[in-house]
Amino acid sequence: LRFPSACDIDQHDFAAILDAIHDEVRQRLGEGRQADYIKALAEVSLDGFGMALVLRDGRVFEVGSARHRFTIQSISKVHTLTLALDAVGDALWERVDREPSGDAFNSLIQLEYEKGIPRNPFMNAGALVVADVVLSSCSDARSRLLAFMRARSGNPGVACDEDVARSEAETGHRNLALAHFIKSYGNLHNPVEDVLDFYYHQCALSMDCVDLARSMQYLAGNGHCSVSGEQVVSGELATRINAMMMTAGTYDAAGDFAFYVGLPAKSGVGGGIVAVVPHVLSLCVWYPGLDDKGNSLLGRYALHRFSRMTGLSVF
């Protein structure tokens, strides 16, 4: 077995580990800053922290505000990447690269000298191309993604927070610029407005830590979703998506995440971070105070402590 701890998962007292992490982060509530470039997110208070963990056998451990709903923002890029790969397979990689960027999530800088091919599917530029692929692959992309999220999380109540979607559209000048720039290279096939509308709605999906941890089960289970019992993607594809999360899931902090956490992870500016221990478990943390790279500050600390307390870093 590649991960010996996977066969002895009950050696870990996950309830006690989550309690210990909660005690540590409680002292630090208030640190970091909300994503104030989206008006609806700027108003969130910094007094809540939640964490949830789901084992392959379906057992859930949770602490704090693990049932508090927040908008998943860029975490949705994992799910839309899955839908795009399901729709067009490896042809996706002709339109999006799969290298870490070293730049901020909303950076435009590499796009011109790389001729409209975004560095990876997790920075905004790449996610817009992925959104375009999903739009082209079905008649109603928003419903398709919503159904996927509900099935993966087992929660039929997953829905979009229309206020957040609208709020982001009002101030989304940079995403509008990115989309037009990519379109000028012919790498968006649908109208820019349609791509952005889908993108803002995927970002504004409202879920809690338990929903999100469950939604990652297929990436912890070789493509098999323990929630619905379905084989969502092949084991090979799950491995590849996890690799993408490790190298690009936290943007220009991916190196630091590998260093301190050592798990495939994907963050969102709503304060959520999902992570996967391949073959073992999936988890999600939420704290809306962000660091200067746009990743949840205490979320990142909690994942660091989790990986060190359990020894479950992939390294």
Distances (CA, A) of 146 to 118, 136, 152, 157, 285: 25, 16, 10, 10, 21
Piece of 47-55, 139-147, 234-242, 261-269 that binds ligand DON (CB under 6 A): 261-269
Which one of residues 268, 271, 278, 288 is an interface residue with ligand DON (CB under 6 A)?
A: 268
Helix (H, G, I), strand (E, B) or coil at 115: coil
- Residue 267 counted as an annotated binding residue: no
- Residue 185 counted as an annotated binding residue: no
Q: Is 269 in the site for ligand DON (CB under 6 A)?
A: yes
Contacts 24+ apart (CB under 8 A), 140-147: 141/198, 142/198, 142/201, 142/202, 144/83, 145/76, 145/79, 145/80, 145/83, 145/198, 145/201, 145/202, 145/205, 146/205
Piece of 2-10, 44-52, 107-115, 265-273 that binds ligand DON (CB under 6 A): 265-273
Q: Return the residue matching tokens 């491995």.
A: 239
CA atoms within 13 A on the CB side of 48: 18
Q: Distance between CA 154 and CA 139 in Å, rounded?
A: 24
Active-site position among 101, 199, 200, 210: 199
Q: Is 118 in the site for ligand DON (CB under 6 A)?
A: no
Distances (CA, A) of 211 to 11, 133, 292: 25, 25, 27
Q: Is 252 in the site for ligand DON (CB under 6 A)?
A: no
Active-site position among 74, 153, 215, 267: 74
106 phi and psi angles, rounded to 5 deg: -110, 20
Q: Is 168 in the site for ligand DON (CB under 6 A)?
A: yes
**Residues in Cβ contact with 30 at an 8 Å cutoff, skipping those fewer than 6 apart:** 46, 47, 289
Residues touching ligand DON: how many (CB under 6 A)? 13
Least separation in angstroms between residue 124's CB and ligand DON is 5
261 in active site: no
Q: Which is nearer to ligand DON, 73 or 153 (CB)?
A: 73
- Residue 301 counted as an annotated binding residue: no
232 in active site: no
Q: Can you spell out the DSSP letters for 270-305?
A: TSEEEEEETTTEEEEEE---B-TTSSBHHHHHHHHH
Which one of residues 124, 215, 217, 310 is an interface residue with ligand DON (CB under 6 A)?
A: 124
- Residue 124 counted as an annotated binding residue: yes
Q: Can you spell out the DSSP letters for 154-182?
A: T-TT-EE-HHHHHHHHHT-HHHHHHHHHH
Subset of 185-224 contacting ligand DON (CB under 6 A): 203
Q: Return the residue matching tokens 């909303």.
A: 106
Which one of residues 34, 80, 101, 106 is an interface residue with ligand DON (CB under 6 A)?
A: 106
Quote the distance between the C-alpha of residue 157 and its chain's center: 19
234 in active site: no
CB atoms < 10 A from the CB of 185, how many?
A: 14
Task: Write the binding mask 274 to 303 for ligand DON: x where contact by CB under 6 A, - elsewhere.
Answer: --------------------xx--------
- Residue 199 counted as an annotated binding residue: yes
Q: Is 105 in the site for ligand DON (CB under 6 A)?
A: yes
- Residue 187 counted as an annotated binding residue: no
Least separation in angstroms between residue 255's CB and ligand DON is 16
77 in active site: yes
Q: Is the dihedral of CA 205, 206, 212, 215 positive or negative?
A: negative
List residues near ligand DON by CB under 6 A.
Answer: 73-74, 105-106, 124, 168, 175, 203, 267-269, 294-295
Catalytic residues: 74, 77, 199, 251, 269
Q: Which residues are annotated as a binding site for substrate?
A: 74, 124, 168, 175, 199, 251, 269
Q: Which residues are annotated as a binding site?
A: 74, 124, 168, 175, 199, 251, 269
